[in-house]
């Protein structure tokens, strides 16, 4: 059971991915027609995944490693042996949040991401 996040030649191996949410926006376009109850529809495939990735880190040094990797410029690659369906190339699309679990040495890193095709 190994999760790997890679950017170029750098990799981190998070202890645990504790959160992964994914949404895909529909590509369909609805066109309101005056005098009609039903719209005209332009059909289009859904977009790529977007969401938040949450990584559990057992120490402050490991959280700094995960945060630093995501703070760099480039396309990251996520793989997980137990969940091959989450594998993706992605970029950071918003905040990188770092939160301690108070009373413990553990930390959480939450990253807003957008999947990309390379």
Domain boundaries, the chain: 3-116
Give the span between the Cα atoms of 118 and 106, in whole angstroms.
33
pTM attached to this predicted model = 0.86
Give the span between the Cα atoms of 101 and 3, in whole angstroms.
21
Spatial contact of 46 and 27, defined as CB atoms under 8 Å apart: yes
Vertex 34: Cα angle to 31 and 40 (nearest 5): 30
Question: Quick one: which H or E segment has residue 61?
Answer: helix 60-71
Beta bridge partners of 10: 7
What is the dihedral sign for C-alpha 83, 89, 93, 94?
positive
CATH for the stretch 3-116: 2.40.30.200
Cβ count near 75 (within 10 Å):
14
Beta bridge partners of 53: 20, 111
pLDDT in 10s for each residue of the chain, 118 residues: 689 999 999 999 988 888 889 999 999 999 999 999 999 999 999 999 999 999 999 888 999 999 999 999 999 999 998 888 889 999 999 999 999 988 778 899 999 999 999 9
């Amino acid at each position: 059971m190994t999760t790997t996040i890679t950017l170029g030649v750098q990799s981190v191996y998070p202890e645990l991915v504790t959160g992964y949410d994914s949404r895909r926006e529909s590509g369909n376009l609805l066109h309101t027609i005056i005098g009609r109850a039903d719209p005209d529809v332009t059909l289009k495939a859904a977009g790529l995944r977007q969401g938040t990735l949450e990584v559990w880190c057992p120490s402050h040094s490991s959280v700094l490693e995960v945060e630093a990797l995501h703070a760099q410029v480039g396309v990251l690659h996520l793989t997980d042996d137990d969940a091959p369906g989450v594998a993706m190339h992605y970029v950071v699309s918003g905040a990188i949040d770092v939160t301690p679990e108070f009373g413990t040495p553990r930390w959480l890193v939450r990253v807003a991401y957008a999947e990309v095709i390379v």
